[in-house]
Amino acid sequence: MRTSTYEAPKDGGDVSARTAARLGWLLFALAALLLVPAAVLNLRRPQYADISFTTGELALGVAFLGFGWFGALIVSRWPANPIGWLLSALSLGSALTTLAAEYAVYGLITRPGAAPGAGALAWLASWQFAPSSVCC
């Protein structure tokens, strides 16, 4: 029976394994915390079929938390494995995109002018997929 042949480098680079594990779980927690205000903004507005960002988009952001959890788990066990860091970055980017989109919808459609910088976050939400696509 064949077992996994991947072994993390022994030197671990400049970051200790404990610090890397903490950072991995911190990235996961940050992604989860970014989705809380996104959920509040989403549930406080009417759900129009015309708006592309509906509750389904919020559910997709929550689903991407699974990538962050697996990323944090990998990083905490094998800090030198780049897959864990990529999964953590993908989850954080997805949460940031979800929050930016919900803020933009709230500030531009639900209550126009109530949220400063909504146009800038709409722009960010529309382009955030690019780094995620390139990195993963």
The answer to whether position 3 is within a domain reads: no
Crossing angle for the helix pair 118-127 and 82-105, to the nearest 10 degrees:
140
Question: What are the φ/ψ torsions at residue 129 (nearest 5 degrees)?
Answer: -65, -25
Question: What are the φ/ψ torsions at residue 130 (nearest 5 degrees)?
Answer: -60, -50
DSSP designation for 111: S
The answer to whether position 101 is within a domain reads: yes
How far apart are the C-alpha atoms of 48 and 71, rounded to whole Å? Answer: 34
The answer to whether position 91 is within a domain reads: yes
The answer to whether position 23 is within a domain reads: yes
What is the span of the domain harbouring residue 46? 17-135
Return the pLDDT at 102. Answer: 87
Return the pLDDT at 42. Answer: 85
Crossing angle for the helix pair 55-63 and 17-43, to the nearest 10 degrees:
170
Return the pLDDT at 70. Answer: 95
Please name the amino acid found at residue 21.
Answer: A
Give the Cα-Cα-Cα angle 27, 33, 53 (nearest 5 degrees): 110
The answer to whether position 130 is within a domain reads: yes
The answer to whether position 11 is within a domain reads: no
The answer to whether position 110 is within a domain reads: yes
Return the pLDDT at 34. Answer: 94
Give this prediction's pTM. 0.78
For the chain, the domain total comes to 1
Using 50 as the pLDDT threshold, list the residues of the chain that sit under it. Answer: none
